[in-house]
Structure 1
Amino acid sequence: MTAGTAASAATQPNGHRSAERIGRTDAGPRPLPPLGTQRSVADLDLADRTLDSGLRVIAVARRTVPTVELRLRVPFADADPKHPARAELVASALLCGTERRGRVEIDDELATIGGELSAGVDPERLLISGSALASGLPTLLDVLADLVTSAAYPDGDFTRERERLVERITVARSQPRTIAREALQQRRYGDHPISREMPQASDVAAVAPAEARELHRAAVLPTGSTLVLVGDIDPVAAINTVAEALAGWATPGTAAEMPPLPVLTARDLLLVDRPGSVQSQLRFSAPAVPRTDPRYPALQLANLVLGGYFSSRLVENLREDKGYTYSASSYLEFSPTAATLTVDTDVTTDVTAAAVLETRYELARLSAVPPTEAEIESARRYAIGSLLISLDSQGGLASTLGAMAAVGLDASWLRAHPARLEAVTPEQVAAAAEEFFTPTAFTGVIVGDAATVGAGLRALGGIELP
């Protein structure tokens, strides 16, 4: 500390310096320290084995805390329009009881090992997630085995779960983001099963317990499913424990994967009328490439520059500069057979046309004016850092490995990805931006009050009005 600074500090109450003075020297603001060396993805103590039943088990030692995380993915697709309602009730009522245990017994047994289990479903898969003390893994697996082999869906508990689910779906279907997501899926994929992410409440109300039992017997199958364990475990021993605990889960057949998605083609945006709405939901979408494509790392960085994190062009334009929205983003979505790029923002009704114009402008600017080296480097640091953070916790690593396995990737892809990102050149990012972000490559929807926003959108062109 210089004498001048010390003298100034002495004038502060109790002799303390203000935050402003701490951040400055006599010559001006203190320079930021250089970035430290980027950490790499640590090698994983991992075992990967497919059991005789067809169940693939991935076990990873992560001994940060004495617990274990569990993720069981069961492909659960079906083209029947009524399938989503039945599938939702399978997930909602799965833990209501088995032939051996009632709901209270399941909860009590999990509580003795500091454990929990939950289930969720989407058009592609049934996902059972859980955790427990590592010493309680045999008990956790015993409960899991009981659920997948003999879930009972007792009438009384099933009816209560069905009533709660009907109420939740009724509320969710009134939300503008739900309406926009459903409209986008139908615009992209028509009547393909992927577009039925949420069932109709009336379909759910009509499902009987016997239908859930039948679907469970027919579709909750080990072959094609993947179980991931991450925690304070010995990977080989843990897989042996799984093989013993789930030996009774040997139902023949193969879990049903989602059929290939239709090719996403560019066409006009569709205006979906929501009378009286005070906001409009903007959703743009275009084809992308999977993580295995050599262009993917450059595409990932270009997407971050556009709207993949807070320091992006969309946020700077639509939020910081124009004040049109609280949040604007772009992101990549993956399935086993396709990848898509989505741009997502909600704006007030009176700026709908202007927001569409600015979004198109940012897409065109990205494809025509390559991102700067500074933008690329910022996106690169964010991408690598986010990946490392996602792998830091047992739960994050389990979820990431499960998601990778679903699209045919494994831990070796994760370990190598930071190096792929480091190797991306500005020229490659510019090429990806030009190839994937041209406005004419997109389709999508705008959900809003057509009477208010229709004239402005008509003037822009490229929008199909009701």
Structure 2
Amino acid sequence: MTATPTGTRTGSNGSGTHRSAEQIGTTDLGPRSLPPLGEQVASAGLDVTDTTLGNGLRVLAVRKATVPMVELRLHIPFGGAGPAHSARAEVLAESMLTGTARRDRVGIDTELALIGGELDTRVDPEHLALRGDALASGLPTLLDVLADVLTGASYPDIEVTRERDRLTERLAVARTQPRVIAREALQRRRYGDHPVSREVPLAEEVAEVTAADVRALHDAAVLPAGSVLVLVGDLDPDAVIGEVERSLRGWHAESAATPVPPVPEVSGGDIQLVARHGAVQSQIRLSAQAVPRTDERYAALQLANLAYGGYFSSRLVENIREDKGYTYSAHSGFDFVGGTGTLVVDADTASEVTAAALLETRYELGRLGLVPPSSSEIESVRQYAIGSLLIGTSSQAGLANQLVALADVGLGADWLTAHPRRLADVTAEQVAEAALEFFAPSRFTGVVVGDPDTLRPGLLALGGVSTDGVTADEGG
């Protein structure tokens, strides 16, 4: 066996210089052909127990003994009206783990560390979420800490003040970020003053929250009925239900947790120009009504979305990133709120090419319906969809995340295990129908966030863009 000379590179040509990807992918007879797609392996079933406890809490316990760990996800519906609710919910989530009647903050952290575990909280307009993990042998301790927090969180004044002040500083910074501004503008364009539009409260609203406000919100809203607990890991699904029931026996209430009200349907219309004076980059955000996961057309729509902009080899990415260089990143995907689904398209572009990028984005929307994905495109996105789903649920954490999202809308593990087959059975005709129906440019509305002085001429020439209420930069 001959040794490779020092200094040469694998994949170099005879002279030792590095070859480009295009050179490597090409032979004297032309481009190298791609290997055929592999045959899809059927998804295995899951060992699941899905039940509702006496206090109204739905529990899904799933055995996945790949590692001796357990993943925990608890989602509590946390709807509320008015900006005060959003601000109080954020402070509650930040300070929920700072102490109980039995444990202070250090005590909680210490007990979790001893079982190789962690527990954290987060909130959005729909849910208060608690997420944790631990060694399987430490699950009783994890459940005990969870129960203690749910039933006995004390929200000490000093801790709430500290967390509130930190949150106020972070929010003041976050609300200056272009993507946060664009997301809020899109939500208001789609849903007006609906509670889901208040994803990020104002810093001044948070600054007014007191420890008493947070305690009152916990008592009124942290409730088991209507909530979902998912446990995935090295466990016995039937036996763990008894553990959960014993641990959470003190968590009960006469009323149920409050879901967010249904969102209005997204209607097509003009795109709104949102001023961000002096910005050198713009954010394009488009949206249209889609269907929920339970709709029989969802699998076909999922494949149509992937072909449009849902992965790196999609038409949108090939056009405005690879071909024209208008953006570093373009993407389309789904937003789910309650039992509804919407399509969202996003791209960040330099200000001088924003109108051109929007033109091409609309062009690809129309082209998807009029020139539907070819058989080879469909097979590529089909394999991507099935493969990414299987990869995403191959870990305990990934499976737990998928299951709790499905459980939020009343679905279970059976939907997840059956979905690869639904994707495999979608026909080219069904994808074409979904593309024509759901990706018609007239169905979309949205926002463009950027410098109006730079963007207005091109966007007005393009048409379908409203500049109402947008003023010139008085500062010049």
TM-score, normalised on structure 1? 0.95
Quote the Cα distance in structure 2 between the aligned partners of 1:241 and 1:12: 60
Q: Deviation at 1:29?
A: 8.0
Match of 2:307 in 1: 305
Q: CA-to-partner distance for each residue in 1:164-187, whole Å, 9 max, x for gaps?
A: 100110010000100000000000
Deviation at 1:13? 2.6
Q: Contact between 1:274 and 1:448, CA under 8 Å: does it hold in 2?
A: yes
Aligned equivalents of 2:410 and 2:308: distance in 1? 28
Give me the whole-angstrom Cα distance separating, in 1, the residues matched to 2:303 and 2:79. Answer: 32
The answer to whether the aligner puts 1:279 opposite 2:281 as a matched pair is yes
Contact 1:78 1:256 in 2 (8 A): yes
Give the structure 1 partner of residue 220 of structure 2: 218
In the TM superposition, what are the counterparts of 1:140-289 in structure 2 within 5 Å?
140-289=142-291
Q: Is the 8 A contact 1:261 1:337 kept in 2?
A: no
For residues 261 and 10 of structure 1, do their structure 2 counterparts lie closer, same or farther at Cα, with a shift above 3 Å needed?
same
Q: CA shift at 1:154, angstroms?
A: 0.5
Paired position in structure 2 for 1:120: 122
* Aligned-residue offset at 1:25: 9.3
Partners of 2:89 and 2:123 within 8 A in 1? yes
Q: Which residue identity is paired with 1:116?
A: E
Unaligned runs of 5+ residues in structure 2 are: 14-23, 471-476
Consecutive unaligned residues in structure 1, runs of 5 or more: 1-8
On the 8 A contact 1:336/1:408 being kept in 2, the answer is no
Secondary structure at the residue paired with 2:41? Answer: coil
Q: CA deviation at 1:35?
A: 3.8
Q: Map 1:80-159 onto structure 2 (within 5 A).
A: 80-159=82-161
Cα distance, 1:100–1:285 mapped onto 2, change above 3 Å? same
Secondary structure in 1 matching 2:349: strand
Determine whether 1:13 maps to 2:5.
yes
Equivalent-residue separation in structure 2 for 1:459 and 1:17 (angstroms): 52
Distance verdict in 2 for CA 1:32–1:309, change over 3 Å: closer
* Amino acid of the structure 1 residue aligned with 2:144: D
- Tell me how far apart the structure 2 counterparts of residues 357 and 139 of structure 1 sit (CA, whole Å): 56
- TM-score relative to the length of structure 2: 0.93
Q: Which residue of 2 aligns with 1:3?
A: none
CA contact (8 A) 1:285 1:442 kept: yes
Partner of 1:404: 406
Deviations 1:39-61 (A, max 9, x none): 32211111111110101110001
Among 55, 59, 62, the alignment partner of 2:61 is: 59
CA deviations 1:346-386 (Å, max 9, x no partner) are 00001011111111111111111111111111100000011
Q: Which residue of the partner structure matches residue 18 of structure 2?
A: none
Q: Distance in 2 between matches of 1:103 and 1:263?
A: 43
Query: How many Å apart are 1:36 and its aligned residue?
Result: 3.5
Shift of 1:31: 6.1
The offset of 1:18, in angstroms, is: 4.0
1:121-166 CA-partner distances (Å, limit 9, x unpaired): 0000000000000000000000000000010110111111011100
In the TM superposition, residue 15 of structure 1 has moved relative to its aligned partner by 13
Counterpart of 2:328 in 1: which secondary structure? coil
**Equivalent AA in structure 1 for residue 374 of structure 2:** T
Matching residue's letter, 1:82: A
CA distance in 2, matches of 1:23, 1:197: 46
Q: Deviations over 1:290-319 (max 9, x none)?
A: 111111111000000010011101111111
The yes-or-no answer on 1:320 pairing with 2:312 is no
**What is the CA distance between 1:82 and its match in structure 2?**
1.1
Deviations 1:433-457 (A, max 9, x none): 1000011110000001001110110
Identify the residue that residue 438 of structure 2 maps to in structure 1.
Answer: 436
Cα distance between partner residues in 2 of 1:374 and 1:29: 17
The whole-number CA distance in structure 2 between the counterparts of 1:37 and 1:24 is 26
Using the TM superposition, give the Cα deviation of residue 81 of structure 1 relative to its aligned residue in structure 2, in angstroms.
Answer: 2.2
Q: Which residue of 1 is the match for residue 378 of structure 2?
A: 376
**Whole-Å separation in 1 of the counterparts to 2:81 and 2:299:** 34
Preserved CA contact (<8 Å) 2:271 2:447: yes
Moved more, 180-189 or 35-44: 35-44
Alignment match, 1:427: 429
Q: Out of 443, 452, 456, which is 2:458 matched to?
A: 456
Moved more, 204-213 or 331-340: 331-340
Per-residue deviation at 1:333?
1.0
Q: What is the match of residue 363 of structure 1?
A: 365
Partner Cα separation in structure 2 for residue 143 and residue 431 of structure 1 = 51
1:87-121 Cα shifts (integer Å, max 9, x gaps): 00110000000011100000001111001000000
Q: Report the 3-state secondary structure (helix = DSSP H, G, I; strand = E; otherwise coil) of the residue aligned with 1:417.
A: helix
Q: Percent identity?
A: 62
**Matched-pair contact (CA < 8 Å) for 1:306–1:314:** yes
Name the CA distance, whole Å, in 1 between partners of 2:81 and 2:35: 56
Question: Alpha carbons of 1:147 and 1:364: their partners in 2 closer, same or farther (altered >3 Å)?
Answer: same
- Whether contact under 8 Å (2:299, 2:422) holds in the other structure is yes
User: 1:366 is matched by which residue type in structure 2?
Assistant: L
Q: Structure 1 residues 17, 264: CA separation in 2 closer, same or farther (over 3 Å shift)?
A: closer
Distance 1:310 1:17 in 2: 28
What's the secondary structure of 1:119's corresponding residue?
strand
Structure-1 residue corresponding to 2:332: 330
Pair 12,136 (structure 1): closer, same or farther in 2 beyond 3 Å: closer
Cα-Cα RMSD = 2.0
